[in-house]
Every structure is written in C-alpha cells, then in structure tokens.
Structure 1
C-alpha cells in the first residue's frame, strides 16, 4: 500500500513540474526576460499595452455600482491582513529557530509585480497590488502553519479535506496508533531538514542533550 502511495506522489510531483514548464513557456511568449525584478518586454509590446489601457473614467463608468459600493469593504481587510502578517512573522521568528524548522521566506509567496503592466489603469494597478499582497500573505501563512502542523500534529484527518498543504500527504494515517510515534518523528526530521542545503543552515544537526 505504501509503495502505491509513494508512486502516486511521484506522479503528482512530475505532473506539477510539467505544468510549471508549460506555464513558463506560455509566459515567455509575452515577454523577453526579467532584470532586477522587472519584466523586459519585446520591442513594441509596451507601446501596444498602453494602447490597450482602459482609462479610469471609462473604467468607472463601465463598472457596476455594486462593485464601487463594496470596494471599501474589500479594502478594509488590509487591517487584519497586516496584523496577521506581522503576528505570524513574529511567531516564526521566535518559534521556528526553537523547533529547528527553516523559516518560510516571504519573497517566495508575496509577489507584487502586476502593477508594472502598462495595459492596466491606476485603479486596476492598485487592485492588483492589494490582491497580490493579501493572497501572498495567505499563501505564506499557510506554509508557516503547514510546517507547524507537520512538526506538532502530523496526522491525517478522518474525512477528506479540500486543498491540503504539501506536507499533509506525508502525515500519519488516522487511527494508525502503532506507527504514529515513528511517523511523528519522521515528520519532524523532514521539517528540520527542509531546505537545509539551500539555506546553509544547521537545522540538520542532531539535537544534543545541551539544548
């Protein structure tokens, strides 16, 4: 049974890699390269983008009134998102070194670059900055929470859950008391070893009695 599960995991990982390659090839059809965090467009592409821009007055006139009226509610969420961002950053800074879990880099999750698109007007650019930040915070917090769960409670749920984080597939089976402790220790070791080589950290070192 475990061999079959491992095989399925490997196939899923291979398909995810294939999907990323296809998406990268599709993106390359629209722009040339990235330099210093900015996209370098092919000649004439940026000019064409400016021609496609819908100016703010026309954009507002075409927007349903319900969208305009509810916009303040959407933007009011910046307060809890910012607080969540700060609080989780503090938690990770304090607790992850104690657990010997590598920190989750925010730059891998919070991407704010869509405002560089010349075919967007000012309101659309602001919306894209806001959405990029908030969705990036959620994705970053999810990974922080996933690593925490993998360290403290790596047990699958009895019922199916939608969209589990990447570490969930390695959790112990629900009800498998015989192998729980071994699976728990294995999950902790995976968290400690995660990205150690890339980060150049010392999380892979065995714990000693002086800690």
Structure 2
C-alpha cells in the first residue's frame, strides 16, 4: 500500500473518531447515557419526550393512502432478509473458523434501541425496530463479505465503486499481476492476523 493511501486512511480514521466524539457530546444534550449497551434516559428527559409523541389515531389519520398501501410490501421483505441472515450466519459460523478469519460480532452491527424513545408511537417504534434490524443486518453481512473478499480476492475493480467497504483501499491495484501473490498473502495475513497457508 502506498504512503499516500496510508495518509488518507489515517485522516478518515481521525474523522470517524471526531464524529464519535460529537455523537457522545449529543448524549449529554439529550440527557441519556449508555450502561452496558442499554439506553438510560433521565426521568425528566422521558417526560419531555412524551409531549412530542403523536397519538396513534392521529398518526394513522394523517397517513397518506399510498403509505398504507405500500407498508405490506415493505414489511414483506422481512422474509428474504431473515433468510439472508440465516444463510450468512451459517456460512460465517462454518467457514470463518476454517480459514482462521475472526468472527464478526453481530451486536456491533445490529442495534435495536430506538423503541426506547418516548416521543415515538407504537407504529413508529415498530418501523424503527424493522429499520434497525435490516440496516444492521446489511452492515453485518457487508463486514462478513469484506473479510471474505480480503481473504480470497483483494483486488480493486477497474471501474469506480461507490462507497466501498473499509478494506477496499488496501486491496491490490487492478492489473498488478506481479504483486498479486505477495499481496494476496499480505491481505490474508491482515484479515486473519496470522501467516496464511501456502
């Protein structure tokens, strides 16, 4: 990897840390804390939030008909996503140990915590649970896929890729035939944290 790429990646890491610091400061403003990954609001904060909740009857009365008609289509996607979850989790459980790739911690990706917000009504809370699961699942699958790609095929694409995963910048350049074997070994070493088999 070139030093220019290292420099850019270091700046990206610093920006991620800065973003996390800012999010932590916002916790103080909205009067909650995390205890063992569980949200704890101050009692006054919960009372304040409840004033902004739209009652379920009013919420449904104001809903656009198209929103109500499309809701079953959106929620029907739970079936293929749950199947994806099952298949990827089985793959992950069997193949990662076989290749010495560290397992992905599911809880680092799938977060279901928005239902603690007192200003959401029951439908909004259900929507937030659904979105938290689906987007977290996609993040979980992406991390598993990125570790798999780093182990088997750490080569950049010829064409631009929109928002590639974090490992992509360290992949080998497209067309680098001479550096491929050594680069593959280095990528496997990085993803498994040990020397790869020949």
* TM-score, with length taken from structure 1: 0.89
User: In 2, are the aligned partners of 1:31 and 1:42 still within 8 Å (CA)?
Assistant: yes
TM-superposed CA distance for 1:81, in Å, is 0.5
Deviations 1:134-164 (A, max 9, x none): 1111110000000000000000001110010
Counterpart for residue 76 of structure 2? 76
TM-superposed CA distance for 1:192, in Å, is 0.5
Question: Is structure 2 residue 27 aligned with structure 1 residue 62?
Answer: no
User: In 2, are the aligned partners of 1:31 and 1:39 still within 8 Å (CA)?
Assistant: no
Q: Cα–Cα, structure 1 residues 184 and 207, in superposed 2: closer, same or farther, change >3 Å?
A: closer
Deviations 1:164-194 (A, max 9, x none): 011111100001111111111100001111x
Write the distance in 2 (CA, Å) between the matches of 1:142 and 1:104.
10
Q: Which runs of 5+ in 1 are unaligned?
A: 194-203
- How many pairs align? 198
- Structure 1: 4+ residue segments shifted above 6 A: none
Q: Could you say what secondary structure the match of 2:167 adopts?
A: helix
Deviations 1:56-101 (A, max 9, x none): 1100111111001100000000000000000000000100001100
Output aligned runs, 1:55-204, within 5 Å.
Answer: 55-193=55-193, 204=194
Q: Cα–Cα, structure 1 residues 23 and 87, in superposed 2: closer, same or farther, change >3 Å?
A: same
- Choose between structure 1 and 2 for higher RCO, CA contacts under 8 A separated by at least 6 residues: 2
Write the distance in 2 (CA, Å) between the matches of 1:179 and 1:37.
43
User: In 2, are the aligned partners of 1:54 and 1:120 still within 8 Å (CA)?
Assistant: yes
Taking only aligned residues, the RMSD between alpha carbons, in angstroms, comes to: 1.6
